[in-house]
Amino acid sequence: MRKLIVASLKMLYRDKQALFWALAFPVIFAVVFALFDFEQTPQIDVAVVAEHESAVSEALVSGLREVDGFTVDERASLDAARAGLEDDEYGVVLAVPAGGEGEIRAFYNETNFEENQFALSAVQQIVDSTNLRLAGVSSPALAVEAVPVTAKSVEYYDFLLPGLVAMGVMNFSIIGMAVAISRFREQRILKRILATPLSPVKFLSAQVVARLVLAVVQAAIILAVGVYVFGAKVYGNVLWIFVLATLANLVFLNIGFAVAGRAANPDAAQGIGNAVALPMMFLSGVFFPTDTLPQVMQSVVAWLPLTPLIEALRAVSIDGLSITAAGPQVAMLGGWVAVSFLIAGRMFRFGRA
């Protein structure tokens, strides 16, 4: 059996193109997403329009210029400033009432939701503090004291990396196994094995073990790129990540066998595999939390095999928990191993033409 596993690993290694994409595809995602700075403060150009200078307009301009990300222009014409807003020259236009009393009107482009929320929140804080100062309140009755506490710093890329590990394992197992078995069938390799003393179970088991080994290598490469090249943080035991990837790989390999059982050729196997994997990749929380989905969809995607894998990986990687803390997710993956094995056994026939 050991020689058969080694032979299967050599077969995977010799298929350089398939091996490259199996390892490179998720790494490309890891590199591309690392190039984006999702934590960057929005850069917003603000126009302040005041026909006559006043204490209010001076305080407003001074406060806005202290905010990181704001570039402040003072304009005399509201019409000209609003034209600049429509031409995307400005993100926000503030019109100060004559004499400094009344309402400050804030004009903004409603399509820039995140920038608007950031800008309007900052303007409101500045206006509130200006009102207090003009009212002669030098020492408010209540104040906020910011007390820093040492805690884990989790950025979006730290959240994303476990999802990329799960995505890589899934794609390689489902599509890679489906295409490989379909190719073996197309080349009559499976029928020839039936005519030899080699047990079909041993042949397929060797294929599974070889791909389990490669899945661990793949997960290690993704983690290494994310952590050592782009500075992602993994707070838990990395060994648990490999254990979870191996367990989930059994599910996805079974799905790959099921796909191969219905595919007429390798091209069809790749198409069916993508049809199975892509919805899970986008719905199970690889890129965004599943709680941003509609409630009905959350209930559905919770039962997809990729979802408990991602949740368990993030519990280990981000929360620093042991695999035992992800007991429900591990139990669901174990259930999927059994269910997917039954489905694969029903749909796959070793010697089917």
Q: Return per-residue pLDDT of the chain as tens, 353 residues.
A: 666 666 566 666 566 666 666 667 777 777 777 777 666 666 778 888 877 777 777 777 777 787 777 788 888 788 888 888 788 788 888 887 776 667 778 888 777 666 777 777 877 777 777 777 766 666 666 666 666 655 566 788 888 899 999 988 888 888 888 888 888 787 777 777 777 777 777 777 887 888 888 888 888 989 998 888 888 888 989 999 999 999 999 999 999 889 988 888 888 888 888 898 888 888 888 888 888 788 888 888 889 999 999 999 999 998 888 888 888 999 999 999 999 989 888 887 765 54
At 107, phi and psi to the nearest 5?
-100, 135
Closest by CA to 90, choosing from 99, 78, 102, is: 78
Q: How confident is the model at residue 18, as a pLDDT?
A: 64
pLDDT of the residue at 331: 93
Domain boundaries, the chain: 2-36+155-347, 44-134
DSSP labels for 17-83? Answer: HHHHHHHHHHHHHHHHHHTS-TTPPPPEEEEEE-SS--HHHHHHHHHHHTSTTEEEEEES-HHHHHH
Q: Which residues contact 301 (CB under 8 A, 6 or more apart)?
A: 283, 284, 285, 290, 293, 307
Extended strands (E) in 173-241: none
Q: Rounded to an integer, what distance in angstroms lies between the CA atom of residue 146 and that of residue 144?
A: 6
C-alpha pair distances (Å), 27 with each of 75, 139, 179, 189, 279 = 49, 55, 21, 32, 20
Amino acid identity, position 69: G
d(CA 128, CA 131): 5
User: For residues 129 and 330, what is the distance between their CA atoms, to the nearest angstrom?
Assistant: 52
Of 45, 65, 58, whose CA–CA distance to 130 is shortest?
Answer: 58
Q: Name the residue among 186, 333, 185, 174 with its Cα closest to residue 258.
A: 174
State pTM to two decimals. 0.71
Among residues 1, 16, 11, 23, the alpha carbon closest in space to that of 222 is found at 23
Fold classified for 44-134: abc type-2 transporter like fold (3.40.1710)
Pairing relationship of beta strands 92-95 and 70-75 according to DSSP bridges: unpaired
Integer Cα distance of 269 and 257 in angstroms: 10
User: Are 158 and 233 contacting, i.e. CB atoms less than 8 angstroms apart?
Assistant: yes
